[in-house]
A and B are shown apart, each in its own frame.
Chain A
Amino acid sequence: EPEVTQTPSHQVTQMGQEVILRCVPISNHLYFYWYRQILGQKVEFLVSFYNNEISEKSEIFDDQFSVERPDGSNFTLKIRSTKLEDSAMYFCASSELASGGAGYNEQFFGPGTRLTVL
């Protein structure tokens, strides 16, 4: 069964460093998302991406964050200058646009990347 994959599973970095989190969405999916979950808190939406551009972003997704689809399979989240409060589990998700433009289908999540900022 197709699944969303993410690498690395765990990333440890020093405050102020740049990190890139990588995701391979399900191959026929058209919408891509990043969410994060700070330990003990709710899963929070960061950004959605469609047709090679951001379609929506949350207030969390400020100038230190960026997303890119560098090729036909990868979808990345870059955090330019990490802060202690960026420590969280980051989830990538993808969904397939329903046929006929009737709406959006089920979102499928990857296993997550645990980011620890020291």
Chain B
Amino acid sequence: KQEVTQIPAALSVPEGENLVLNCSFTDSAIYNLQWFRQDPGKGLTSLLLIQSSQREQTSGRLNASLDKSSGRSTLYIAASQPGDSATYLCAVGMEYGNKLVFGAGTILRVKS
């Protein structure tokens, strides 16, 4: 059974700092991996999608990497801003039906 773990559970940083969020998964037979942002009481906003054959994806200040064989992904946020404060969720897409298996998330607070 696929298990997804995110470290750290919470992170508080000053504005402008670069930061890395970590995601690990137990079964490397994934199809893809998505990073989401969730604001309190809100839905999930897709940030980046990495296919299993890819090593990284970039969108603006965000860069996500994937090491499928070791079961790890990282989300790098450059020059963090208070507006980046949210919960960041990692989810792996499985081979069949592409259901997503989610981690518990990292709660990020960027202080101004």
User: Is B46 engaged at the interface, CB distance under 8 Å to the other chain?
Assistant: yes
Chain B residues whose CB sits within 8 angstroms of the CB of A25 once the complex forms: none
Interface residues of B in 66-112 (CB under 8 A from A): 89, 91, 93, 96-105
Count of A-B residue pairs with CB < 8 Å: 60
Q: Known: A48-B97, A56-B97, A91-B44. Is A42-B102 also a contact (CB below 8 A)? A: yes
| CB-contact partner of B103 in A42, A104, A107, A112, under 8 A | A42
Interface range, B side: 20 to 34
User: Is B24 engaged at the interface, CB distance under 8 Å to the other chain?
Assistant: no
Per-residue contact bits, chain B 33-55, to A (CB 8 Å; 1 contact, 0 not): 01010000111111001010000
User: Is A81 engaged at the interface, CB distance under 8 Å to the other chain?
Assistant: no
* Chain B nearest CB, measured from A92 CB (Å): 9
Q: Is the CB of A107 within 8 A of B46?
A: yes
* Chain B nearest CB, measured from A9 CB (Å): 10
- Cβ-closest chain A residue relative to B6: A42
Interface residues of A in 49-95 (CB under 8 A from B): 55-56, 58, 91, 93, 95
